[in-house]
A and B are shown apart, each in its own frame.
Chain A
């Protein structure tokens, strides 16, 4: 029987990689923040799959919540489009 967590884990890591590549080539910074949000959410998903609940709580509260808020505040001062 196939090992389900590793299977959906590999789907999640592929999605994270694609999101990171898209975020790197994106010119619109707000879109890049949302795309890196996808990357972060699949990171949290992989932490569940790899059995790390302590890290999961710390990561969800910090890596998802506070990081995006701080970056959006910082973006309010600059310009939205790169180049």
Chain B
């Protein structure tokens, strides 16, 4: 069995890679010239954060923080649909 301590060689590198991606995505969301750009970058940011949640869970060594990943991944879809709904319905009037 691989002990939990061995993970500590791997985790800081992985967390820093995903944090770097998180920062660049955040820059894109704040800069994005139009609304679809921002929502698209927010999707990618959310998926990135789900992985980061899992890594923090492993870092602390407690299972229960992973529980937020599923509603988060469903939320992305809801925001997409509702922004699209707004754009389609607001154009009509």
- Asked whether the complex places CB atoms of A and B closer than 8 A, the reply is yes
- Chain B interface size band reads 35 or more
> B65 contacts A57, CB within 8 Å?
no
> B86 contacts A76, CB within 8 Å?
yes
Instruction: Chain A residues near B90: list those with CB within 8 A.
Output: 76, 80
Instruction: Chain A residues near B26: list those with CB within 8 A.
Output: 15, 19, 38
With A15-B26, A38-B29, A53-B65 known to touch, is A60 a contact of B75 (CB < 8 Å)? Answer: yes
Instruction: Chain A residues near B15: list those with CB within 8 A.
Output: 4, 8
> B65 contacts A48, CB within 8 Å?
yes
The chain B residues found within 8 Å of chain A, CB to CB, are: 12, 15, 19, 22-23, 26, 29-30, 35, 38-39, 42, 45-46, 49, 52-53, 56, 59-60, 62, 64-65, 67-68, 71-72, 74-75, 78-79, 82-83, 85-86, 89-90
